[in-house]
Amino acid sequence: MQDCIFCKIARKEIPAQIIFEDEQILAFRDIDPKAPQHILLIPKEHIATINDLVTEQSHLVGRMTLTAAQLAKQLGFANQGYRLVMNCNEHGGQTVFHIHLHLLAGRHLLWPPG
Ligand code: AMP
């Protein structure tokens, strides 16, 4: 997708603090962190929302989740805990229409979310 900001990050056309990459997944630091640790995990393939996921792409969500857990261990906050969030469309608070998993940690996160 030409105009998608996360596709541009995946293609290295705009900078990001990338902390993990493989053939299918990219993880980078959120530009406007909502917690001391705020990392976004995306599939390199453009998928606009969770509503657009098809069965053949379900492994990507599994890879994103497993990668988040690995990063939590590597960065030292797995035992203390963290939150994984995927927002969908207007009521979910989605602002970038390329699916992404938020990995949030480093403070006691409130529940329920606002
Ligand atoms: P959401 O509101 O769930 O769609 O989350 C989008 C997230 O992307 C927000 O937390 C933004 O701060 C983050 N974001 C937007 N642009 C960039 C960027 N260029 N680099 C890193 N994070 C970004």
Q: Please choose from 18, 26, 30 the residue to mutate so as to test ligand 1's pocket, defined by most ligand atoms within 8 A of CB.
A: 30
Domains and CATH numbers, the chain: 5-105 (3.30.428.10)
The pTM is what? 0.98
Q: For this structure, is 100 an active site residue?
A: yes
- For residue 2, the model assigns a pLDDT of 82
Residue count of the chain, please give it: 114
pLDDT, average across residues 5-30? 98
The active-site residue out of 46, 91, 100, 108 is 100
- For residue 68, the model assigns a pLDDT of 98
- Residues within 6 Å of ligand 1 by CB: 5, 16, 30-32, 40, 87, 93-96
pLDDT confidence of 114, banded at 50, 70, 90? Answer: confident
| 78 token code pair | 């797995």
User: What ligand 1 atom has the least distance to the C-alpha of 30?
Assistant: 22
